Chain A
Amino acid sequence: MSFWSDPIRVANEWLNGLLTDLLPQAWATLIGNVIGVVVVSSFGLILVIFLIWLERKVAARFQDRIGPNRAGPYGLLQTIADIVKLLTKEDSIPEKADKVTFNLAPIVSMIAVLLIWAVIPFAPGWIGTDLNVGVLYIAAVGSFGILSILMAGWASNNKYALLGAFRAVAQLISYEVPMLLTLLVPVLLARSMGMMHIVHDQSLWFIVLAPVAGVIFLVSSIAEVGRTPFDLIEAESEIVAGYHTEYTGMKFGLFFAAEFLHAFTVGVLFAILYLGGWRGPGAEQYPILGMVYLIAKSSIGYFIVMWVRSTLPRIRIDQMLDLNWKVLTPISLALLILTAILDKMFAETALRAPVLLGANVLVVVLSWAIIRVLSRRSRRERKVFKKRPEARAV
């Protein structure tokens, strides 16, 4: 195995050999694990610097602008300049704030996202830890993100920040329901919760077997991240933005960076669960190719997220709740039950893919018809108000 086809394994074996020469086995394993953690999380943190530049460039193209183009070639160093600016800003803490919780909240928010990266299979053999309950783990660590928002809102000792935190938690908890239900569909299809197993099982990408679940997963994940059009939880452009109203400088920057990394993580999860992860020609022999495939596939989901962000306006809170409880949750429940029954009935037969695809089409057509009928009825029932007297120029 040469270095260029599988650098991670070669580096791992070299490091392991070096450590076991110097230390007893148990400590060598522990230190090896710690180094692994540092490598994976640093990769995520460095990726953010690039992602912020990428997002600004792409959003600029959508709005017919050029975007950052001063610092470095194509403005690549713009984010680094921004980080320096954020670090030199005044770090203000409200006088009556709960200082420890206040300072802890941005850190927890970043940790919540980085924890997901522990179970991401980058390539064959490249995975932080191949938990056999990987999908459940992703759902579990998501609750740290909610916790960080509550901590930030409460510790700020500002009623608007607290209200913002409640609003944010309400949205995150609601959209967790369809997200978890559609996370279960790939689990059903692969018959395992291990991330590596799910990737191995996708000789046919799951987006073909469960396209509707894939779309619902992406939509509810965008809401989980709190991006446009679901950014009513943290209106970044307004002064009283939400739970992070009181944060300045790099502490606000951490919330911001966590959101960016989470958005890309959504793309990565979408690629792993529905687009076949690192699978592609030659990925088994040359794991580094698998990494390239995964990044390429993740960019599809991430691009959709950016596209939606720069196209759609912010929705109202009643629209946000209606979409979740009246559309996404019932459809994903129906999909989960249908997938479970049909996949068991047609397992191992050639009919599996066409039947599952047909069921998805059926669900879309039926739910569209139901929505049409219901919206027509509600329009008929809507009261007709008496016309008000108009003001006229005399």
Chain B
Amino acid sequence: MTGMQGVFLFAAGLILWAAFMMVTRQNLVHAAFYLILALFGVAILFVLLDAGFLAVIQVSVYIGAISIMMIFAVMLTRGDVIEEDPVNKNYGWALLLAALFAFGLIILVGQWPAIASLPGAFDTSRDLAAELGVALFSPEGFVIPSEVASVLLLAALVGSLVVARRQKGK
């Protein structure tokens, strides 16, 4: 076992444990903190794959923005402790579906030939962030989808301002 495999096993264990703790907590804020931990584990996996850009984006988008927004939502709404048992009555059906799904996934992934091979050496000399930027904004690349997405986000921003703004005289 190499050091990197040790780190991978640690990160994988962290993700699974944090995800399990997240769905079983009664306290919503605790659940949010465990979600952050699980997402941080995913960032470690990206680092192990030499995908530094994705790892940083994972931290900044999920841990930074989304988790903090979620915590805000939880804190601003009423009551963070659920009195009753969080387990649903229909958990038997859910368990069956989940088991079937997991079973299917294991079979599918097991048939994939690349599963047994180690990842090949990665060309770290390429500046992947720069290549991504060029692909996003070059006319031969994805400039129209990315611009459409930015216009959509801008519209959402302006729309939320209009909705939140107090009208004059009211």
Residues in A lying within 8 Å of B, measured CB to CB: 26-27, 29-31, 98, 101, 131-133, 136-137, 139-144, 146-147, 150-151, 154, 162, 166, 169, 173, 192-193
Q: Smallest distance from the beta carbon of B15 to chain A beta carbons, Å? A: 18
Select the residue from B3, B6, B59 with max chain A CB neighbours within 10 A: B3
Q: Smallest distance from the beta carbon of B52 to chain A beta carbons, Å? A: 5
Question: Are A131 and B56 in touch, CB under 8 angstroms?
Answer: yes
Point out the residues of chain B lying under 8 angstroms from A101, CB to CB: 30, 33
Point out the residues of chain A lying under 8 angstroms from B3, CB to CB: 26-27, 29-31
B63 within 8 A of A: yes
Question: Are B68 and A136 in touch, CB under 8 angstroms?
Answer: no
Question: Are B56 and A136 in touch, CB under 8 angstroms?
Answer: yes
Point out the residues of chain A lying under 8 angstroms from B2, CB to CB: 26-27
Complex alpha-carbon distance, A193 and B53, angstroms: 10
Give the number of A-B contacts (CB < 8 Å): 69
Q: Could you say which of B6, B29, B33, B52 contacts A133, with CB atoms under 8 Å apart?
A: B52
B127 within 8 A of A: yes
Question: Are A137 and B63 in touch, CB under 8 angstroms?
Answer: no
Question: Are B68 and A146 in touch, CB under 8 angstroms?
Answer: yes
Q: Could you say which of A132, A133, A137, A150 contacts B68, with CB atoms under 8 Å apart?
A: A150
| Closest residue on chain A to residue B43 by CB atoms | A140
Complex alpha-carbon distance, A193 and B60, angstroms: 15
| Closest residue on chain A to residue B53 by CB atoms | A133
> Known contacts A132-B53, A147-B67, A166-B75; can you find 14 more A-B pairs with CB under 8 A?
A27-B3, A101-B30, A132-B129, A133-B53, A137-B52, A140-B60, A140-B64, A143-B60, A146-B64, A150-B68, A151-B33, A169-B68, A173-B68, A192-B127
B1-42 vs A, CB cutoff 8 Å, 1 = contact: the mask equals: 011101100000000000000000000011001001000000
Point out the residues of chain B lying under 8 angstroms from A137, CB to CB: 52, 56
Question: Are A133 and B56 in touch, CB under 8 angstroms?
Answer: yes
Question: Are B129 and A140 in touch, CB under 8 angstroms?
Answer: no
Residues in B lying within 8 Å of A, measured CB to CB: 2-4, 6-7, 29-30, 33, 36, 52-53, 56-57, 59-60, 63-65, 67-68, 71-72, 75, 127-130
Question: Are B4 and A26 in touch, CB under 8 angstroms?
Answer: yes
Complex alpha-carbon distance, A131 and B52, angstroms: 7
Complex alpha-carbon distance, A139 and B72, angstroms: 20
The 25 listed contacts between A and B (C-beta, < 8 Å) are A26-B3, A26-B4, A29-B3, A30-B6, A31-B3, A101-B33, A132-B53, A132-B127, A132-B129, A133-B56, A136-B53, A136-B60, A137-B52, A140-B57, A142-B64, A143-B60, A143-B65, A150-B68, A150-B71, A151-B33, A162-B75, A166-B75, A169-B68, A173-B68, A192-B127
* Main DSSP-derived SS at the A contact region: helix
| Closest residue on chain B to residue A153 by CB atoms | B75
Question: Are B52 and A143 in touch, CB under 8 angstroms?
Answer: no
Question: Are A154 and B129 in touch, CB under 8 angstroms?
Answer: no
Point out the residues of chain A lying under 8 angstroms from B129, CB to CB: 132-133, 136, 193
Point out the residues of chain A lying under 8 angstroms from B56, CB to CB: 131, 133, 136-137, 140
Question: Are A147 and B36 in touch, CB under 8 angstroms?
Answer: yes
Point out the residues of chain B lying under 8 angstroms from A143, CB to CB: 59-60, 63-65, 68
Point out the residues of chain A lying under 8 angstroms from B57, CB to CB: 136, 140
Q: Could you say which of A27, A141, A162 contacts B59, with CB atoms under 8 Å apart?
A: A141
Complex alpha-carbon distance, A151 and B68, angstroms: 10
Q: Smallest distance from the beta carbon of A368 to chain B beta carbons, Å? A: 27
| Closest residue on chain B to residue A131 by CB atoms | B52
| Closest residue on chain A to residue B1 by CB atoms | A26
Select the residue from B56, B71, B130 with max chain A CB neighbours within 10 A: B56
Question: Are B4 and A154 in touch, CB under 8 angstroms?
Answer: no
Point out the residues of chain B lying under 8 angstroms from A140, CB to CB: 56-57, 59-60, 63-64
| Closest residue on chain A to residue B69 by CB atoms | A173
| Closest residue on chain B to residue A154 by CB atoms | B29
Point out the residues of chain B lying under 8 angstroms from A142, CB to CB: 64
Q: Smallest distance from the beta carbon of B76 to chain A beta carbons, Å? A: 9
Complex alpha-carbon distance, A136 and B61, angstroms: 11
Known pairs A133-B52, A150-B71; A139 contacts B127 (CB<8 A): no
Complex alpha-carbon distance, A192 and B53, angstroms: 13
Q: Smallest distance from the beta carbon of A381 to chain B beta carbons, Å? A: 15
